[in-house]
Amino acid sequence: MSFGFSELAAIRLGFGLSPLMPPAPDVDALLAGVAHAGPLPDAMTTETARAMTLELRDTRRAREEDKSEANEEAFQIVNTRMGMVPIYDLRDRIARAVDDGVGFGERLVQFWADHFTVISAGSATHPLAVAFVDEAIRPHIGGRFEDMFFAADTHPMMLTYLNQSQSKGPNSPFVKNRPKMELGLNENLAREAMELHSLGVDAGYSQDDVRQLAELLTGMEYTANLGFRYRADVAEPGAETVLGKSYGGNRRGGMEDIRTALTDIARRPETARYLSRKLAVHFVSDDPGEDLVNELAGVWQETQGDLPSVYRVLATHPDLVTNLRKKVRQPFEVIVAALRALGVNGGRLADLDDKQLRRFFWGPMIAMGQPWGKPTGPDGWPEEAESWIAPQMLAARINWTMNMPRGLLPRQLPDPREMLISTFGGTQSAQLSWAVPKAESAAEGVALILASNDFNRR
């Protein structure tokens, strides 16, 4: 195989090559491209999401109080609009990934949004889940991990998902004044903050550390009615000791105490090790070499979690090339990479109607085993190849590669021989190079490329 950094980085760190745009020529260009994955001017915000949720609530109440035809119609319009939010979010996320010249930034958005998994429980929180990515993830993928950690674990969507608003300090004035109510701590956020978001389950912290952090996190509250608030009357009074360090004291500093604690956790060597390995698993290999993990963790600690410095190690380490095709592309990656290979741009996706969005993307994501925004739990989507290559999922991938190109581009399919070159840039196997030119039609040749092992692995 004959290829260079540009092809390797596009396939392994981005969403694949595209005939519409050149790949990043070097590491500096790759890292500079991360800035393009920041929030757009029309990004979803918590306030916009809150307004949408209140509109849904108000139209539902109006329908319940007065079952008139007008109230029913008003509710159905709003309810349908809220139900479409995840589908439009999928469309927009695909479009941004398709149009990202470098691709690394949008891959990082996917990685970090999955790392800090939130799951919408229904239409009322769909917009807030979109706001979470635009407010907590996108602004921080090119900064320090500690800032993303704080933004994600204090975001209204995370508080909603992990029931943090139900967590009350057992000795707080709020609880003391309501002795007959069963109020107290909810440890969900504290546990996930340590176990999944930073230190990792094997970091050696205790249940007491989790409880102390849970006490420190009390006071944060989000409701659609009132928005985000820090309530001192709900916060557990006094000092909490987390991993040997005391926070709070006689005069609680509210959100500043929480920020300090999360920053200290973010800067611990266990966090550096855990997240360095997770990055290596996602981008390089299901079983990454210790040399790569050690180098990533070392730079993480030296720079106190400066993510671009960590990304540079990832992009320049020899394991990136020696482990080519060791990772199975997840369904979202397959869809984006296929569209890029076909020369489709984001503008084409904007022209699709709701039925087409369901047919080409929403439904296939479900069939391939990755329903959009619906992982099975707070640990996000699995990484190991076995989770994505079960017979039923493989059949769904093959069906999609055979049907989507002809449906989306009925009269514009590329020449498979040219597509082979532009898609793989010299990384393709000899078997695929032999088979594609022998395809009896353009549709068959395109399907051979998109269904190949070469394409479904990176």
3-class SS string, the chain: CCCCHHHHHHHHCCCCCECCECCCCCHHHHHHHHHHHCCCCCCCCHHHHHHHHHHHHHHHHHHHHCCCHHHHHHHHHHHHHHHHHHHHHHHHHHHHHHHCCCCHHHHHHHHHHHHCCCCCCCHHHHHHHHHHHHHHHHHHCCCEHHHHHHHHHCCHHHHHHCCHHHECCCCCHHHHCCCCCCCECCCHHHHHHHHCCCCCCCCCCCHHHHHHHHHHHCCEEEECCCEEEECCCCCCCCCEEECCEEECCCCCCCHHHHHHHHHHHHCCHHHHHHHHHHHHHHHCCCCCCHHHHHHHHHHHHHCCCEHHHHHHHHHHCCHHHHCCCCCECCHHHHHHHHHHHHCCCHHHHHCCCHHHHHHHHHHHHHHCCCCCCCCCCCCCCCCCHHHCCCHHHHHHHHHHHHHHHHHHCCCCCCCHHHHHHHHHCCCCCHHHHHHHHHCCCHHHHHHHHHHCHHHHEC
Q: Does the pLDDT value for residue 282 go beyond 70? A: yes
- Which residue matches tokens 């820090």? 230
Res 40: pLDDT: 97
Name the β-bridge partners of 221: 229
Distance CA 442, CA 120 (A): 41
- Smallest Cα–Cα separation from 264: which of 316, 198, 309, 327? 198
- Smallest Cα–Cα separation from 261: which of 213, 207, 205? 213
Token readout for 280 is 């290596």
Confidence of residue 321 (pLDDT cuts 50, 70, 90): very high
Q: Are 365 and 331 in contact (CB under 8 A)?
A: yes
- Averaged pLDDT, 285-290: 97
- Which residue matches tokens 């989000």? 222
Predicted TM-score of the model (pTM): 0.96
Token readout for 103 is 């691709």
Distance CA 44, CA 279 (A): 27
Res 411: pLDDT: 84
Name the β-bridge partners of 144: 306
Token readout for 421 is 């070159």
Confidence of residue 412 (pLDDT cuts 50, 70, 90): confident
Res 1: pLDDT: 53
- Averaged pLDDT, 103-116: 98
Distance CA 114, CA 265 (A): 20
- Which residue matches tokens 């581009």? 409
Confidence of residue 430 (pLDDT cuts 50, 70, 90): very high
| Residue 276 φ/ψ region, left for φ over 0, alpha for ψ in the -120 to 50 degree band, beta for the rest | alpha
Q: How far apart are the first and last CA of the chain?
A: 14
- Averaged pLDDT, 447-451: 97
**Arithmetic mean of pLDDT over the chain:** 96
Distance CA 257, CA 449 (A): 54
Distance CA 169, CA 174 (A): 8
Res 349: pLDDT: 95
Q: Does the pLDDT value for residue 250 go beyond 90? A: no
- Smallest Cα–Cα separation from 94: which of 400, 408, 338? 338
- Averaged pLDDT, 101-123: 97
- Smallest Cα–Cα separation from 149: which of 256, 252, 259, 255? 259
pLDDT digits (tens, 9 = 90+) for 353-410: 999 999 999 999 999 999 999 999 999 999 999 999 999 999 999 999 999 999 999 8
Residues 6+ apart with CB under 8 A from 296: 276, 277, 279, 280, 310, 313, 314
Report percent pLDDT > 70 for the chain: 99
Distance CA 149, CA 144 (A): 9
Distance CA 361, CA 375 (A): 17
Res 253: pLDDT: 74
Q: Does the pLDDT value for residue 309 go beyond 80? A: yes
Q: Does the pLDDT value for residue 308 go beyond 90? A: yes
Q: Does the pLDDT value for residue 56 go beyond 70? A: yes
pLDDT digits (tens, 9 = 90+) for 137-176: 999 999 999 999 999 999 999 999 999 999 999 999 999 9
Res 95: pLDDT: 98
Cα atoms in the 13 Å half-sphere on the side-chain side of 18: 23
Token readout for 164 is 């943090």
